Homo-oligomer: A and B are copies of this chain.
Amino acid sequence: MNVAIIGASGYTGLELIKILINHPKFDIKYIANSSGEQNVQELHPCLKNVINMEVSKADAKEVKKVADLAFLALPHKTSMSFAKELLDLGVKVVDLSADYRLELDTYEEHYCAHEDKRHIKDSVYGLPEYFENEIKKSNLVANPGCYPTASLLALLPFIDYIQEETQIFIDAKSGVSGAGKKLSEVAHFVNLNENTHAYNPFKHRHMPEIEEKIKIIKDKKFQINFVPHLLPVTRGMLISVYATLKDEINVDEILDKAYVDSEFVRIRKAPVDLKSVAGTNFCDIYVARNGKALFINSSIDNLLRGASSQAVVNANLMCGFEESEGIPKIAYVP
């Protein structure tokens, strides 16, 4: 199965390349960014002696000639125009941007006017633990945001047990690779090192994504109060969900049952950490209860389960392969 990677310059583009190099079923046939005319080794010097390919200036028709599926690791808005063209040419798309993640009105409220209304309603939300069957049949999978991935995997098993009308709080902590490669004040080493702080409290665009998916999957309307924090680490994301239960239930049992068949969700008996999942597609989850107070704690690699490895899982499913085919499981420990 031949694939293309569009948007090879950023971190998620690089992670796609790194996963697909060793993938037993997918063959990288096309790598592109907005400028082209470079070898991928110049773009990412760590790939010297690893892969030797030209980086093209992204062009949908060229993709069609060589690949059956394309990964789009592009900014939102840029992504939808490419996706539209590729889909019309019959190329399957896994889109890592926000462009096809939300219902149209939610999207337009929080992002911008949508320019591919035709395809948005056919897109499937690529959270494999909850949409495996739909993904298998889809030609357009919207890869979830990093925060929603870890938050939803933690929260969904408990939604039915949470008191209606109470507030759900998500205290999220992310490594700074989530902010991308672009230079910025927050990513300046001196500003972040030995530091941490919240940003955009109650205003991050992943908040409506979490709310909408809970509503769709569980048919429950909760106010999600999402506060992301930046950590002085490169990769990894830790989610602490706080909620109020209806009853003093056995939370361990619920969690164990929810993911008994999920290869990439690991239930932990102690609070989760970043290092055990960094470099992998795993989502680790731990839960604790204090009377009716609930604490659900999940961790992922923001660039892998939060982006590129989840995208390849989605591609595996779309192409009829095993979910775990070529998916990284070996953590960056120590």
Chain A positions within 8 Å of B, measured between CB atoms, are: 11, 14, 18, 21-22, 44-46, 48-50, 166-167, 169, 171, 173, 175-177, 181, 183-185, 187-199, 201-202, 223, 225, 227, 229, 231-236, 238, 240, 242, 244, 263-264, 266, 268, 271-279, 282, 288-293, 295, 297, 299, 303, 329-334
Contact = CB atoms under 8 A, between A and B. Distances in A.
A22 B330 contact: yes
16 contacts: A46-B277, A49-B266, A166-B166, A173-B196, A189-B234, A191-B275, A193-B193, A194-B194, A194-B275, A196-B238, A196-B274, A197-B271, A197-B273, A198-B238, A199-B271, A227-B242
Given A181-B190, A194-B233, A334 B282 contact: no
A169 B293 contact: yes
Contacts of A227: 240, 242, 295
A298 to B, nearest CB: 11
A13 to B, nearest CB: 11
Contacts of A21: 330
A22 B171 CA distance: 36
Grouping DSSP codes into helix (H, G, I), strand (E, B) and loop, the A interface class, with mixed when no group exceeds half, is: loop
Contact of A201 (B238, B268, B297): B297
